[in-house]
Amino acid sequence: MTMRVHVIAAAAAISFAAAGLAATTLPRDKALAVMHDRHEGMETIGKTNKVLHRELDSATPNLGVVRQSAAQLQQLSRKASGWFAAGTGPELGKTGAKPEIWQDPKDFSAKLAAFQKAAQMFNDAARRGDLAAIKARYGDLGGTCKACHDKYRMDMHH
């Protein structure tokens, strides 16, 4: 894709995510369902990252596993736009999401869009099968996760 298309896609993702954050508060049962989906999605992202870390640290990574995991991460990154609706923060119940997500939706949305773009680029590299590019894009992806977690994720003690 051209740079212009990436910029337009990122702007659309930010607008979409910001709209979801700014929306009216959901009814309690729907808000709890969103929180559950968010928790399950983030758990799956974490487990998928562990699989990828193991594969990419291996002397002979299984590219089939890498491709499958990269596709799953890209799919989950898209779904994440719906995981942070108004009223689904710590005021409703136990969550790892800090209230700052809803207090600074523009910054949060930009970080989410960066994650989505990195997930797409990682998936593109995985589909091509270029191991050097895969590892580089995986590093970029990890950076977007860290940027968001450092500011918007509570310390989790399971």
Backbone angles phi, psi at 130, to 5 degrees: -85, 105
Paired with 153 in beta bridges are: 97
pTM summary value: 0.83
The string of pLDDT tens digits covering residues 100-120 is 999 999 999 999 999 999 999
Measured from the Cβ of residue 68, the count of other Cβ atoms closer than 10 Å reads 14
Quick one: pLDDT at residue 155?
Answer: 81
List Cα–Cα distances, 152 to 8, 62, 121, in angstroms.
25, 33, 23
Confidence of residue 42 (pLDDT cuts 50, 70, 90): very high
What confidence tier does 156 reach under pLDDT thresholds 50, 70, 90? low
pLDDT of residue 8 exceeding 60, the answer is: no
For 139, the token pair is 């590093």
Q: What mean pLDDT is predicted for residues 53-80?
A: 97
Domains in the chain, please, with CATH?
Answer: 3-152 (1.20.120.10)
Q: What is the pLDDT of residues 127-154, one digit of tens each?
A: 999 999 999 999 999 999 999 999 999 9
Confidence of residue 77 (pLDDT cuts 50, 70, 90): very high
Contact of 132 with 81, CB cutoff 8 Å: no
Confidence of residue 38 (pLDDT cuts 50, 70, 90): very high
